[in-house]
Structure 1
Amino acid sequence: MTDTATRPIRVRRMRLILGTLCAAVLAAAGTMIAAPSAYAEADRTLTSNATGTHNGYFFSFWKDSGNASMTLRADGRYSSSWNNSTNNWVGGKGWATGSRRTVSYSGTYNPGNNNTYLALYGWTRNPLIEYYVVENFGSYNPSSGATRFGTVTTDGGTYDILRSQRVNQPCIDGDRCTFYQFWSVRQQKRSSGTITTANHFDAWARAGLQLGSNHSYQIMATEGYQSSGSSDITVWEGGGGTTPPPNPQPGNCTATLSAGQTFGDRFNLNVAVSGTNNWTVALGLGGGQSLQNSWNAAVSGTTGTITARPNGNGNNFGVTIMANGNWNWPTVTCRSS
């Protein structure tokens, strides 16, 4: 069987030309965009490669062939199924920017006697690292094909720490990358629980395995390789073990974007929130973009999905976004806090 510990997830970036053109027209015209209430998007089934946001969560879906699909459901829930016609696929929900967050998840995972993982999965840059915290797997243990660096005990279980290397292989930055893969593989398999991400990051660092300083996405992923199986997983931030938090009531929270001043390398956006005075607005920045400045709100994050909350200055705030060649407006969602 192919050693998946030394096989990368082949990530492809999709460029939607029509979306880019539409965004440029909207920005030039100063057209206002109203975001729907969070947690209100309909289920969406993916059968071709895509990334984006759905009901307040980042998602990624990739396959190289065959009959694999993933359905995006309420909040952080997704379901998936695949069969042996698929060479390799991976997908899940989570966050556009990885961090030392505590991640909880619950659901069902059906690997059978197959080569498949259930894992917290992400990437960093500077240096380029692909990492897994493997919670469950089928017939193939990824620790079989990687160099062992010890163990870490956390969240009620013991994980083997491992490293493998990929040379001239696909990655989030192209088709010919050289990078390390970091692994924490749980010895006691489970399909629901809490992952204290910082404990794995710190254990890797103590073993001399240093993640990059620039985090890309971080998702609770299902992966299958020349296999068949299914999963139905819900992920959320914070503790809580096996019970997802109750769905917040969206109320009438709406966030509306309008164009501000544009400069040679950056642009301003104004955000107007209506329907509630207690809100959380999520702005999903595109590739290459970063937050330079903000005003009239408490804003956290600089890349990926950034969040804004009231800071006593009312329901209107603004942001300055460094474009880095990407002039698309961010996605926006709003929920009542």
Structure 2
Amino acid sequence: MKKQHSFTSVTRKVTLVVAATMVFASATCLTGCKKDQKTAPETVASATPADKAAVTESYQSGTHNGFFWSLWKSDGATGTVNYANGTGGNYSVNWNGFNGNFTCGKGYSVGSATYKIGYNLSTYANSGGGTFGWYGWSRSPYYEYYVNETWGAVSPHTGTFLGTFETDGAGYNVWTRWMTGKDIDGGDGFRQIYSSRVTKTSTAQNHVITFANHYNKWKSYGYTLGQLNIPAIMVSETWGTNTNGNINCTIWAQ
């Protein structure tokens, strides 16, 4: 999580909304804008980190094996990012000498308060800031939400600490903060709400995120998510200067 900014930029937020809207218009492919159509989902899906750098426009998205996926890079970002969709809910990403902010991941074209997500994080290394976990947005009211399972060299924890609770065999700290940037529809200001594991998740083991438990805990503190008809993904993010890392993750519905 950036020190003073949201995980997202205005460009990414607006594009994500366009992408989410197009889900309802097309059951076969979801893309953020016309530029995204230059790289079809199948092209990215067949790439492997060793084969092909993900030379992208600012945002790409699509569907693969029944999952929604997306890859976003901040304007002016430099360095190499290689993203690949694997079998089923698997994806991988590696990056070298990266300057800026990127997010990527696999999930669903719309969020839900009742999702129960299984995941296995087989590899995680991140020399910069950023996080790995369940991520999405709501409208009415606008919330940017996270369930942080692990993070890079810079801690994402900031804002107002609300408390600690346990779910799925792990302790989570709950934080919130008001952001002065643009929401996903271009309006001014929005709130972040997030749960972060007290202890970072382990790799090469199966884990579960029962999102309803986080949703209800946030609600108990007075922060109730609004409409969730926006994509939600198991996100991998980094930000910083000259960062390096690699992540391999598989998700499934429990």
Of 40, 46, 52, 1:43 maps to: 46
- The letter of the residue matching 1:101 is Y
Of 225, 230, 236, 1:222 maps to: 236
User: Could you list the runs of 4 or more consecutive aligned residues of structure 1 that deviate by over 6 angstroms after TM superposition?
Assistant: none
Greater alpha carbon shift after TM alignment, 41-50 vs 121-130: 41-50
In structure 2, the CA distance between the partners of 1:182 and 1:81, relative to structure 1 (3 Å rule), is same
1:58 aligns with 68
Q: The residue matched to 1:228 in structure 2 has which SS?
A: strand
TM-score by length of 1: 0.59
Q: The residue matched to 2:146 in structure 1 has which SS?
A: strand
Tell me by how many angstroms 1:214 deviates.
3.5
Q: Distance in 2 between matches of 1:233 and 1:42?
A: 14
In structure 2, the CA distance between the partners of 1:57 and 1:120, relative to structure 1 (3 Å rule), is same
1:125 aligns with 139
In structure 2, the CA distance between the partners of 1:18 and 1:3, relative to structure 1 (3 Å rule), is closer
TM-score by length of 2: 0.77
Tell me by how many angstroms 1:2 deviates.
5.1
Q: Is the contact made by 1:105 and 1:236 (CA closer than 8 Å) also made in structure 2?
A: yes
2:27 aligns with none
Q: Distance in 2 between matches of 1:17 and 1:70?
A: 18
Q: Is the contact made by 2:135 and 2:234 (CA closer than 8 Å) also made in structure 1?
A: yes
In structure 2, the CA distance between the partners of 1:83 and 1:196, relative to structure 1 (3 Å rule), is same
Matches within 5 A, 1:23-172: 43-44=46-47, 46-48=54-56, 49-64=59-74, 65-66=77-78, 67-99=80-112, 100-143=114-157, 145-169=158-182, 171-172=183-184
Unmatched tracts of structure 2, length 5 or more:
16-31, 49-53
The Cα RMSD (Å) is 2.4
In structure 2, the CA distance between the partners of 1:71 and 1:17, relative to structure 1 (3 Å rule), is closer
Tell me by how many angstroms 1:229 deviates.
0.9
In structure 2, the CA distance between the partners of 1:125 and 1:2, relative to structure 1 (3 Å rule), is closer
- The letter of the residue matching 1:173 is D
Q: Distance in 2 between matches of 1:229 and 1:162?
A: 26
Identity of counterpart residues, as a percentage?
31
Q: Is the contact made by 1:126 and 1:214 (CA closer than 8 Å) also made in structure 2?
A: no
Q: Is the contact made by 2:102 and 2:238 (CA closer than 8 Å) also made in structure 1?
A: yes
User: Residues 64-96 of structure 1, C-alpha deviation per residue, up to 9 Å, x if partnerless?
Assistant: 112223111111110001233331000100001
Unmatched tracts of structure 1, length 5 or more:
20-38, 239-337
Tell me by how many angstroms 1:42 deviates.
5.3
Higher relative contact order (CA 8 A, sep 6+): 2
Structure having the larger proportion of residues in helix: 2
2:198 aligns with 187
In structure 2, the CA distance between the partners of 1:18 and 1:203, relative to structure 1 (3 Å rule), is closer
Q: The residue matched to 2:194 in structure 1 has which SS?
A: strand
Tell me by how many angstroms 1:43 deviates.
2.0
Q: Distance in 1 between matches of 2:2 and 2:134?
A: 21
Q: Distance in 1 between matches of 2:191 and 2:217?
A: 16
User: Residues 9-38 of structure 1, C-alpha deviation per residue, up to 9 Å, x if partnerless?
Assistant: 22252321797xxxxxxxxxxxxxxxxxxx
How many equivalent pairs are there? 214
Q: Distance in 2 between matches of 1:203 and 1:52?
A: 32
Q: Distance in 1 between matches of 2:69 and 2:133?
A: 14
Q: Distance in 2 between matches of 1:18 and 1:166?
A: 28
Q: Distance in 1 between matches of 2:36 and 2:230?
A: 25
Tell me by how many angstroms 1:115 deviates.
1.5
